[in-house]
């Protein structure tokens, strides 16, 4: 199929039977429910970090340990002028929603490497969770993964992440909370990392042990040079910022040559119609750095903002739909930011599909599945087009008739804040693991003169498992700086 923009069936509504991926979910795998008190308690470090954030000091210690192996943390993958790579954001729940994406990943050919963009492991980044949330689901993918940590990966002090991706152990370091009463409480409440034996870890690693699958990145932030492009991967910790040492590194690797660059970050710079520079966008906008793309995870859907900066356009992208719960798009206000209008903005799922799917979930969880809250996709499209003045981003107008009761229902559901609430809980409360799921990942096809970026949509439905949709596809030219 082409895109969910072309038909209701293309959005995944035609069939809700799961694909063959369902057979690969480990027996007894428990859905990663964000309604479970234990899950919330395990994730408490996100709240504690709002009092005192120990990440900057811990990251600097990890970087000190990494320096003998990494130099300036630039990975050289060769000079091929044409190749493909994947960006998969916010993956590791280890339940159906992660495994549903795997067949579409497996179908990708000619892939040189992939980057997991934020939150490799939920809910706490523990080393013991990598078996069923990284090694097992991706065991048949015949290319290496690099990764940038998200806030959840930092909840164990980044120990699991650094062991798996960088081959480093923490030599017994303790997180530095400083001194005083607040520091004492933070230190006492901070969740410690779980335990795993060497045998368990070796067993997990054997699942991805072929030379074509293995890689070693030097640090939590790093760059990858491959052919004409440099990929710059940064670590924004829990709070979404970089420390002074990392910023100096970012400026250095961004300005030392004029090759086209792509930023990969744990926190998007433009998201939900808002601008969040994160202390790095001034470097991205610097024409000498020659950034053409800036891709961020953390928010679990797809969004694209083509922002004009001087005489060029930088594509700012949100890509966090690689396996975790879905963040709704229907509550995103009409976009008007940095010169980007609603007509230029793209998202997946479409607003109509987001409203329709979450109405089903609310109805099943709160109203016993009686259908009282359900808004059909055509009705949702009609609501956005006729009563919100937003075209719902579909390529065809809805012909659905909207009664007053249906309009009021859509209006009421559309006002529920499905974004980040307490500890990012909004959409999390209505997590679901049945098709259609509206997951996605990005494919970047690199050439000497430019690249093609494709947003590949994944519903998890049996009828679309072999034919994932193309939800957005753009050509990105390289515009060299001329000083």
Q: What is the pLDDT of residues 31-53, one digit of tens each?
A: 677 667 777 777 788 888 878 88
Which pLDDT score is estimated for 106? 96
**Strand pairing partners for 271?**
274
Q: Quote the Cα angle for 84-88-93, to 5°.
A: 155
Give the closest residue to 277 by CA, choosing from 322, 324, 242, 312: 242
Task: Please give the average per-residue pLDDT across 157-183, as a whole number.
Answer: 85
pLDDT digits (tens, 9 = 90+) for 320-346: 999 999 999 998 989 999 999 999 999
Is residue 214 predicted with pLDDT exceeding 50? Answer: yes
- The CA dihedral of 152, 153, 156, 159, to the nearest 10 degrees, is 180
Compute the average pLDDT of residues 275-304: 96
The pTM is what? Answer: 0.94
* Greater pLDDT, 53 or 167: 167
**145-148 and 469-477 beta bridge pairing:** unpaired
- Cis-peptide into 431, omega within 30 deg: no
State the average pLDDT over residues 184-207: 85
Cα 441 to Cα 15, 291, 308: the distances in Å are 21, 21, 24
Confidence of residue 252 (pLDDT cuts 50, 70, 90): very high
Q: Of 289-293, 384-388, 423-427, where does mean pLDDT reach its minimum?
A: 423-427
- 8 A C-beta contact, residue 60 and residue 243: yes
Q: Other CB atoms closer than 10 Å to residue 162's CB: what's the count?
A: 23
Which residues face 224 on adjacent strands?
75, 231
Give the pLDDT confidence score for residue 480 in this predicted structure.
63
DSSP assignment of 396-417 equals S-------HHHHHHHHHHHTS-
**Whole-number pLDDT of residue 182:** 82
The pLDDT tens digits of the residues spanning 352-364 come to: 999 999 999 999 9
**Domains with residue ranges and CATH for the chain:** 17-327+438-477 (3.60.21.10), 352-430 (no CATH)
Query: How close are the terminal C-alpha atoms of the chain, in Å?
Result: 45
Which helix (H) or strand (E) segment is 455 a member of?
strand 450-458
């Amino acid at each position: 199929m082409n895109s969910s923009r072309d038909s209701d069936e293309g959005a995944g509504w035609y069939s809700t039977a799961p694909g063959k991926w369902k057979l690969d979910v480990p027996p007894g795998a428990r859905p990663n429910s964000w309604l479970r008190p234990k899950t919330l308690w395990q994730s408490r470090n996100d709240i504690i970090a709002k009092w005192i954030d120990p990440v900057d000091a811990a990251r600097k210690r990890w970087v000190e340990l990494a320096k003998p192996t990494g130099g300036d943390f630039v990975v050289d993958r060769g000079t091929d002028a044409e190749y493909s790579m994947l960006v998969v954001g916010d993956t590791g729940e280890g339940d159906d929603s992660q495994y549903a994406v795997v067949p579409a990943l497996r179908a990708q050919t000619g892939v040189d490497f992939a980057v997991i963009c934020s939150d490799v492991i939920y809910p706490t980044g523990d080393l013991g969770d990598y078996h069923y949330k990284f090694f097992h689901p991706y065991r048949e993918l015949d290319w290496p993964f690099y990764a940038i940590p998200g806030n959840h990966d930092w909840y164990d002090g980044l120990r699991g992440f650094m062991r798996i991706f960088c081959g480093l152990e923490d030599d017994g370091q303790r997180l530095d909370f400083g001194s005083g009463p607040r520091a004492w409480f933070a230190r006492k409440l901070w969740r410690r990392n779980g335990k795993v034996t060497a045998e368990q870890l070796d067993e997990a690693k054997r699942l991805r042990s072929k030379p074509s699958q293995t890689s070693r990145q030097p640090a939590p932030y790093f760059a990858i040079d491959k052919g004409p492009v440099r990929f710059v991967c940064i670590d924004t910790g829990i709070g979404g910022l970089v420390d002074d040492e990392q910023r100096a590194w970012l400026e250095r690797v961004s300005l030392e040559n004029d090759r086209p660059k792509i930023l990969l970050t744990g926190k998007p710079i433009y998201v939900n119609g808002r601008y969040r520079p994160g202390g790095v966008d001034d470097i991205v906008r610097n024409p000498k750095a020659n950034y053409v793309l800036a891709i961020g995870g953390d928010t679990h859907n797809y969004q694209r903002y083509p922002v004009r900066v001087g005489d060029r356009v930088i594509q700012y992208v949100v890509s966090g739909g690689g396996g975790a719960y879905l963040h709704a798009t229907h509550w995103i206000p009409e976009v008007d930011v940095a010169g980007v209008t609603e007509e230029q903005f793209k998202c997946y799922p479409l607003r109509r599909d987001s409203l329709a799917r979450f109405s089903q979930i609310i109805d099943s969880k709160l109203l016993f599945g009686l259908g009282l809250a359900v808004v059909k996709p055509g009705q949702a499209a009609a609501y956005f087009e006729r009563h919100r003045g937003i075209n719902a981003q579909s390529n065809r107008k809805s012909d659905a008739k909207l009664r007053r009761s249906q309009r009021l229902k859509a209006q009421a559901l559309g006002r529920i804040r499905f974004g980040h609430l307490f500890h990012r809980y909004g959409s999390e409360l209505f997590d679901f693991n049945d098709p259609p799921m509206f997951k996605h990942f990005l494919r970047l096809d690199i050439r000497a003169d430019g690249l093609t970026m494709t947003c590949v949509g994944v519903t998890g439905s049996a009828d679309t498992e072999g034919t994932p949709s193309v939800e957005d596809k753009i050509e990105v030219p390289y515009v060299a700086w001329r000083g």
